Structure 1
Amino acid sequence: MAKSDLTKVAPPKELTEEQCAAVLKRLGRNLARFRNTAELYAITEADAANSKKATQAKDDFVEAFEDWAQDTLKIIWLACREPGGGQPPKLEAMADTSTTGLPPLPPTEQLTPLLNTVVLLHVTSAKEYSSRTRAFLFSVGLVDEDVVAATLKNPKRAIEEAEKKTNAAREEHAQRSKIMRMVGMGAGAVAGGVLVGVTGGLAAPAIGAGVGTVLGWLGVGGTAAGMLATGLAGSGVVCGTLFGAYGSKRAATVIGEYTREVRDLAIKPVHEPKETMAACLCVTGWLDSADDVTAPWTVFNGDDTFALQWEVDALKRLSTALVDLLKSQAMQYIKGQIIRQTVLASLFAALSPTVWLKLTKIIDNPWMAAKSLAIKTGKVLGTLLAERVLGSRPITLVGYSLGSVVIFEALQYLATLPPSRVLGLVQDVYLFGSPVTAEPSHWTAIRRVVAGRVVNGYGKDDYILAVLSRVSDMNWTVAGLGPVELQGVENIPCDQVDGHLKWRGMIGQCLAQCNAPGIDREQVHEQLNKKAREISKDMDMDEKEAKAAVQAGPGSAPGSGGEEDLASDGGDGVRKRDSMKKLAGTT
């Protein structure tokens, strides 16, 4: 656990005025580029919609983003000890974005405390941690959020720890000065400057007593010192806003208001919450058991991680239907043909209408019912996120299958709200095996709402999702099967997922493949060895089994009775699989 220490959330004393000015210049240009990219996403969305409403939304977003960018530049200026003095710089509309030829940033041991200062000033002044601020700073360098959180939770200890270091440094300096005087060299005055009236009567006595001395020794003065002292004095309020929503009476009330829309809805912690500076919310796509609400997400071991429980009964019914579909003769035939390197699209085109009808009878009702509930749940989730039920901190959203639909709809809802309200809400989004359209125009709003990464993980050989999409929507352009061709969307091929049910056991591996932060590699390995292996055992075929499945054919028309009537399988799917294995052994 990080130790609370004011010296780690203040600009390093070793940084010269020239270095601070150079940092401000480079970060200012990075910020201009960050702003321009975000505004480009908003313009792309407006152009795709081509309506007055979309144009107004774009203008509102640009205005809100501009306010955030100017505030951010001011805070960076303060953290850099106000280079040039006077008024803070402005981020011009045509600001230079090139960093070519500029001095490099200081080493990490000096840059990180400076960036920590920016976070602390931002959080204590805004009373929230914007996902835009987090995404921008993480694009620049390493931020030690654990130290910032520890300082906010225990500012008194942060000051005491800094005082120890300050006193030790003073003693060392005094001893050095004494030696220098003895040899006739003399010594300069202690650097750092005098801090006058830092607290302005706003800091609590326990904080105000030592903070002025410490900040003065660290060389922090002026407006930055006043903001830090005031922020530390009011850190209890900040912590309540930042971390305090989950599990509170208010959060329970907000969630309860929407259970009429969605009958089963709850937010479950995956691990014991640690009150981190950011949080992650994960959404499962179907449930073999109630444990699957949280079980897939134990691969996260960084920020506070929660899982959305939604419509458990419907997702259990869907799980049963997916297994029945997988074991059906038609699906065994399709899998066998794929193994024999038949192109999915041409294979589907060759299947008779009667085969599609029997597949529809197995899966259509539970799949469409669950998908409809996912859409409703997504709108409710969007409302809950806007209400900051997980605190006023950046939220990363992760989901697979219908869990991706929930998140997709939540983001679409957030896009309809005033940008000033949701600008700094969502950090990153990771969607896997998404049964949603890959049409770029449907993703432009999401790209605008999300501050950081938008990742689309897809399995091009996911024949189960292909069947589900065909029987339900007659839609081939599905994000879970291929890339979304939109600037700002990262498309990650997850070729190891060659059947939809495999997402459950491979989600950790796919997140690691995307370089998602906070992934526990040991947990990923355990998930692969246990759940993924168990699922693959039921799904995978060898060459002989594939040949047997193809020879058995896709089955006959429904209603003919016998084993071929897949609409009323009644367990015959298991016997068919066994018979095909026997056939494979004798071929």
Structure 2
Amino acid sequence: MSTKDEDVKDLSSIINAEEICDLITLLTDITLLMRKQLSDIFEPPAIEQSSRNFLPLETVTAGHTKDDFSSKIRGDGEIKGKFKETKATFYPSENKLSTPKRQQLERDCFEFFDKWRQSVMSHVYTAIEVPGRVKEHQKDMKFSKRIPRIENSSETVIIKLDSRNFVANTTLSKLNPPISTSLSSLPQEKRVLIFHSVLLILLSLEKYMAPSRILLINLTSSLHLPLDILVKDEIKVAQSLLGAVEHISGTEETEKRGRENFISRRWKAGLAGVAGAAVIGITGGLAAPLVAGVIGTIMGGLGLGATAVAGLLGGLAQSSVLVGSLFGAYGARMTSRAIDSYAKEVQDFSFLPMKSSNGQEILQKDHRLRVTIGVSGWLTDKEDVINPWRALGQESEVFALRWELEALTNLGQSLESVAKSTAWKIAKKEIISRTIFSSLLLALWPISLLSLSKVVDNPFSICMSRADKAGTILADAIINKSQGERPVTLIGYSLGARLIYSCLMSLAERRAFGLIEGVVLMGAPIPSNAAVWLSLRSVVSGRLVNVFSTNDYILAFLYRTYSVQYGVAGLQSITGVNRVENIDVSEIVSGHLRYQLAVGSILEKIGWENIYLEVVAMEEKTLAILKEKENNEEQNRGEKIV
């Protein structure tokens, strides 16, 4: 099909009445599927009997006699009592999580989703000419009577890293199976135009919410289009909207220089400053109308004419203020000074824009429709705030969160001292012989190792406390739209994951749904029990990934004084909650300190979007060198690597 841009005035110029009906049905089915997936979160999954105990007694006692435990702990009877208590508290899913608090959370989730879904379909009807029979059909349709094919997408996914064939499109198909539709048989050019149109319709809501992007991911899958179509569209639309605002605002050189200087100063202040720059620096805070011709000309690459683009965008095509709000200006009023007022109890709290591949800072023209924030968990150098996140592609607007620089540096130095000590290397061998869980739950720590506790316990305790506070501050910033009306993805390791956990728990408590698109938690020092992860899952619209390693003896040791009866997410898979991905990275993460060097490798292997493979290759090379060095050191001491 070859449709000239100027001929495409609205969606009815692209598809006929029957295809419009099919599109409405497909969008309805996708939202039904999303609602079913939301419902699945609150349904306890089937748990095999063998997996119901957090630490099976036979596993914990492997290699030890009853007398061994009696002499080292407090007696066999007390051990059994400990396990009985653990089973009761660790698996609240056995009680179906049927508490009033859970029920209220479920009701609030559905209330938000149904309002969002109604708004989406209303804008679809407004943007395109929907046959009357379709509207009546939609009005009569009940969620409970029509459930699209899910293909086990509600089950917890456990992915092993024995395959290196993970790519974003493979993961797209696996986690978002296509819904059957006759539209998938249309020529690709026509399917792409349909997709373009739906993206613009969703933006006509004047916000790009996390569930809107999940809808688009499902639409991409159902139309049999590659994920790149969605990513490239997002970039094109972001650049076009901001380009149109800049074009309307004037082109005088003095004004241009003033804008650039203003934006440059704001960038240094972080994400909140960028929020102000998006509109104030471009329009002076005034609402300049975006002429349809300008929008259409700049967006010509989408294959839609000016009239079609303006019509599909609705009010967003009429106001620079709305465009600025989308990218983080009005509504939020989050200046850097305002973030400072939130962060009184945490030092160094700021968002640092990641540099592009050519070494230059992200400019205003490089804004994206999505925001990704990487959170480091300890530091040995100030550059460690940014370095772990260099593998994240610029298809999303990437920031590194700088927080508690001094405390995290002290912790990093302490962890390195312990990891390099002879006492730790000897103790590690003894821990391995017992299994990590027996040492954790039953406090079977070698005396030589306990002597090192004074080195790390205090720095870790300080950082745990401040991570919880910083997480609440991050939640405040997100709720107040420092990122604008754009979905946020959060990725963190170690105490960075703890910070994100605190943020998500705060969002859940305040019922701030639809803001978070995806989350990856690596080596997280947080509980693994179902009640906690149900709350986390409720505020994440897309993927929620728990990355763990059974080789993380340092994490087990650091977490030993906390509520270990609720499990440790960084050491095990999450059970009892649907739609949580568990990624076992024991093969590449030999210890807690490896996460900082393996972020890109892990993200690439789980099929995360838009990863710089050249950075991943460098990470893997570094990890291989370190592993070889460790093996040589062990061999020199005559010890065997287990």
TM-score range, shorter chain: 0.7 to 0.9
Letter in 2 for 1:20: I
C-alpha contact 1:32 1:95 (8 A) present in aligned 2: no
Q: In 2 relative to 1, CA 465–221 (structure 1 residues): closer, same or farther, beyond 3 Å?
A: same
Q: Report the Cα offset of residue 465 of structure 1.
A: 1.4
SS of 2:182's equivalent?
Answer: coil
Q: What is residue 464 of structure 2 aligned with on the other side? A: 371
SS of 2:570's equivalent?
Answer: coil
Q: Report the Cα offset of residue 374 of structure 1.
A: 0.8
Q: Report the Cα offset of residue 481 of structure 1.
A: 1.0
Q: What is residue 414 of structure 1 aligned with on the other side? A: 507
C-alpha contact 1:48 1:441 (8 A) present in aligned 2: no
Q: Report the Cα offset of residue 226 of structure 1.
A: 4.5
C-alpha contact 1:508 1:519 (8 A) present in aligned 2: yes
Structure 1 CA distance, aligned partners of 2:210 and 2:143? 22
Identity %: 28
Letter in 1 for 2:552: D
Structure 2 CA distance, aligned partners of 1:156 and 1:397? 29
Letter in 2 for 1:36: K
SS of 1:145's equivalent?
Answer: helix
SS of 1:35's equivalent?
Answer: helix
Structure 1 CA distance, aligned partners of 2:602 and 2:611? 10
1:92 correspondence with 2:137? no
SS of 2:39's equivalent?
Answer: helix
Structure 1 CA distance, aligned partners of 2:295 and 2:327? 27
Q: Report the Cα offset of residue 477 of structure 1.
A: 2.1
SS of 1:393's equivalent?
Answer: coil
Corresponding residue to 1:328 among 414, 421, 426:
421
Letter in 1 for 2:466: L
Q: What is residue 454 of structure 2 aligned with on the other side? A: 361
C-alpha contact 2:370 2:397 (8 A) present in aligned 1: yes
1:123 correspondence with 2:224? no
SS of 2:484's equivalent?
Answer: coil
Q: In 2 relative to 1, CA 72–324 (structure 1 residues): closer, same or farther, beyond 3 Å?
A: same
Structure 1 CA distance, aligned partners of 2:465 and 2:487? 28
Letter in 1 for 2:462: A
Structure 2 CA distance, aligned partners of 1:157 and 1:15? 33
Q: In 2 relative to 1, CA 39–86 (structure 1 residues): closer, same or farther, beyond 3 Å?
A: closer
Q: Counterparts of 1:418-567 in structure 2 under 5 Å?
A: 418=511, 422-471=512-561, 473-474=563-564, 477-485=567-575, 486-495=577-586, 496-530=588-622, 532=623, 535-536=626-627, 539-540=630-631, 544-545=635-636, 547-548=638-639
Structure 1 CA distance, aligned partners of 2:603 and 2:465? 26
Q: In 2 relative to 1, CA 205–484 (structure 1 residues): closer, same or farther, beyond 3 Å?
A: closer
Q: Report the Cα offset of residue 78 of structure 1.
A: 4.7
C-alpha contact 1:131 1:426 (8 A) present in aligned 2: yes
Instruction: String of CA shifts for 1:104-142, please: whole Å, max 9, x gaps.
Output: 423543223323322222223x32111001012112204
Letter in 1 for 2:318: A
Structure 2 CA distance, aligned partners of 1:488 and 1:36? 12
Structure 1 CA distance, aligned partners of 2:9 and 2:618? 37
Letter in 2 for 1:282: G
C-alpha contact 1:132 1:423 (8 A) present in aligned 2: no
Q: In 2 relative to 1, CA 29–544 (structure 1 residues): closer, same or farther, beyond 3 Å?
A: same
Total equivalences in the alignment: 493
Corresponding residue to 1:393 among 486, 490, 500:
486
Q: Report the Cα offset of residue 37 of structure 1.
A: 1.4
C-alpha contact 1:10 1:114 (8 A) present in aligned 2: no
Q: Report the Cα offset of residue 268 of structure 1.
A: 0.6
Instruction: String of CA shifts for 1:254-310, please: whole Å, max 9, x gaps.
Output: 211123121221111112332101010010000111111111101011201001111
Q: Report the Cα offset of residue 227 of structure 1.
A: 5.3
Structure 2 CA distance, aligned partners of 1:50 and 1:209? 55
Letter in 2 for 1:250: M
1:243 correspondence with 2:335? no
Q: In 2 relative to 1, CA 535–408 (structure 1 residues): closer, same or farther, beyond 3 Å?
A: farther
Structure 2 CA distance, aligned partners of 1:267 and 1:50? 39
Corresponding residue to 1:110 among 179, 184, 190:
190
Q: In 2 relative to 1, CA 31–60 (structure 1 residues): closer, same or farther, beyond 3 Å?
A: same
Q: Counterparts of 1:268-283 in structure 2 under 5 Å?
A: 268-271=352-355, 272-273=361-362, 274-283=366-375
Structure 2 CA distance, aligned partners of 1:227 and 1:319? 51
Corresponding residue to 2:339 among 251, 255, 274:
255
Structure 2 CA distance, aligned partners of 1:303 and 1:361? 42
Structure 2 CA distance, aligned partners of 1:86 and 1:19? 11
SS of 2:559's equivalent?
Answer: helix
Instruction: String of CA shifts for 1:310-354, please: whole Å, max 9, x gaps.
Output: 100000100111011112233201444578x76434577795663
Corresponding residue to 1:298 among 369, 390, 411:
390
SS of 1:430's equivalent?
Answer: strand
1:264 correspondence with 2:348? yes
SS of 1:24's equivalent?
Answer: helix
C-alpha contact 2:203 2:313 (8 A) present in aligned 1: no
Q: What is residue 380 of structure 1 aligned with on the other side? A: 473
C-alpha contact 1:399 1:407 (8 A) present in aligned 2: yes
- The more displaced of 297-306 and 353-362 is 353-362
TM-score by length of 1: 0.75
Q: Report the Cα offset of residue 219 of structure 1.
A: 9.6
Point out which structure has higher relative CO (alpha carbons under 8 A, 6+ apart).
Answer: 2
Letter in 2 for 1:256: D
Q: In 2 relative to 1, CA 519–9 (structure 1 residues): closer, same or farther, beyond 3 Å?
A: farther
SS of 2:372's equivalent?
Answer: strand
SS of 1:461's equivalent?
Answer: coil
Q: What is residue 241 of structure 2 aligned with on the other side? A: 152
C-alpha contact 1:6 1:158 (8 A) present in aligned 2: no
TM-score by length of 2: 0.69
Instruction: String of CA shifts for 1:444-492, please: whole Å, max 9, x gaps.
Output: 0110100000000111111221222225555582111110112110001
Structure 1 CA distance, aligned partners of 2:472 and 2:640? 42
Q: Considering only aligned residues, what root-mean-square deviation do their CA atoms show, in Å?
A: 3.7
Letter in 2 for 1:118: V
Gapped regions of structure 1 (runs ≥ 5) = 160-201, 551-587
Q: Report the Cα offset of residue 370 of structure 1.
A: 1.1
SS of 1:368's equivalent?
Answer: helix
Letter in 1 for 2:106: K
Q: In 2 relative to 1, CA 229–523 (structure 1 residues): closer, same or farther, beyond 3 Å?
A: same
Letter in 1 for 2:595: W
Structure 1 CA distance, aligned partners of 2:407 and 2:630? 23
Q: What is residue 207 of structure 1 aligned with on the other side? A: 292
Q: In 2 relative to 1, CA 306–211 (structure 1 residues): closer, same or farther, beyond 3 Å?
A: closer
C-alpha contact 2:21 2:134 (8 A) present in aligned 1: no
Structure 1 CA distance, aligned partners of 2:527 and 2:295? 58
Q: Report the Cα offset of residue 146 of structure 1.
A: 1.8
Instruction: String of CA shifts for 1:134-153, please: whole Å, max 9, x gaps.
Output: 01211220422122223322
C-alpha contact 2:201 2:313 (8 A) present in aligned 1: yes
C-alpha contact 2:473 2:503 (8 A) present in aligned 1: yes
